[in-house]
Amino acid sequence: MITGSISSKGVNEIVLQAVVEQAKKLEKDKVSILEIGPGKGALSKAIRDALEEAGIKYEIECGDIEPHQINDQKLGFECRYVDAQDKFNLNKSYDIGIIVELIEHIENPFHLIREFAGILKPGAMLIVTSPNILSLGSRLRFFLTGCYDYFRRPFNEYWLNMGHVNPINPLQLMYILRKNGFEDIEVTTNKATGSSILMLPFAPLIFFFSLVHYIFRENREGGKEQKKRNRLTLGKLMSPGMLLGKIAIYKAVRTRDLKTNTTTWFQSDPFFKP
């Protein structure tokens, strides 16, 4: 258990394990890591200790709108001023990027992922976590109240800091990642919720309608290849973790630059293969 963390139980531990595994896999002289929105640095401290224990040379940096929360502690790594809703203005590139329970707090998730795509090296891993609004329990809450889990009450228009302002659908986030050159997307979750477990009897019905939506009704041009991709997507959405899990944890690899403009916007992406 990582002390000092305000993340949902188990999230930081899963992210920590993914970072250490990726750092070992890279086999570099020094692995560079960037965490945006680190709070008081509980996760970055745990990563620092784990990498030192594993004998892996590293460089950790953080970015936050309140960098003093980390810098005042003198933890051995720097936190720069970075506004996740603005340009990062970082003149470096990194091997691993981390966004833990931040993307749901900002207005433009496309911008956040695009900024990371610009500073992560080819082959670098990006780890993103967000409330799993497609869990069975969250789907039930939305059906009954119009609000997802973690987004339970109507927004207060007069409160400028509204906390969880942007419920990120896993389908949308996977699209944003792909649009910015990230592939090999893996999705897992931390722990099951009681409401989702109670909703398990409805999983076959959800699978049936999803199968019709993703596969049987896919008749567009190039539909054969799209059906293959949709099966992969459906497999992720219907996995036990995504049906039951509280927080979704995404791992994606930056495989290429994906630049779009007015001449390519409506063209198929030749790299998008199942």
Q: Give the DSSP per-residue string, 56-118.
A: --EEEEEEES-THHHHTT--SSEEEE--TTS-------EEEEEE-S-GGGSS-HHHHHHHHHH
Nearest to 24 by CA among 95, 129, 126: 95
**Pairing outcome for strands 58-64 and 78-81:** parallel
**181, 258 contact by CB (below 8 A):** yes
SS3 state at 189: strand
Above 70 in pLDDT, residue 183? yes
Give tens-digit pLDDT for 14-36: 999 999 999 999 989 999 999 99
Segment holding 194, helix H or strand E: helix 194-198
Domains of the chain: 11-192+245-254 (3.40.50.150)
Give tens-digit pLDDT for 142-157: 999 998 998 877 666 5
The whole-number average pLDDT for the span 116-126 is 95
Higher pLDDT, 195 or 7: 195
**185, 174 contact by CB (below 8 A):** yes
Above 70 in pLDDT, residue 201? yes
* Predicted pLDDT of residue 141: 94
Could you tell me the pTM of the whole model?
A: 0.89
**CA dist., res. 200 & res. 192, Å (int):** 11
**208, amino acid identity:** F
Give tens-digit pLDDT for 210-265: 998 888 777 766 667 788 888 888 999 999 999 999 999 999 999 877 655 555 55
SS3 state at 178: helix
* Predicted pLDDT of residue 221: 62
How far is residue 83 CA from its own chain's centroid?
A: 18
* Predicted pLDDT of residue 220: 65
The whole-number average pLDDT for the span 81-97 is 94
Above 80 in pLDDT, residue 165? yes
* Predicted pLDDT of residue 150: 87
Higher pLDDT, 99 or 164: 99
Higher pLDDT, 187 or 271: 187
Confidence of residue 120 (pLDDT cuts 50, 70, 90): very high
* Predicted pLDDT of residue 161: 63
Above 90 in pLDDT, residue 7? no
**CA dist., res. 225 & res. 210, Å (int):** 18
* Predicted pLDDT of residue 262: 53
* Predicted pLDDT of residue 258: 61
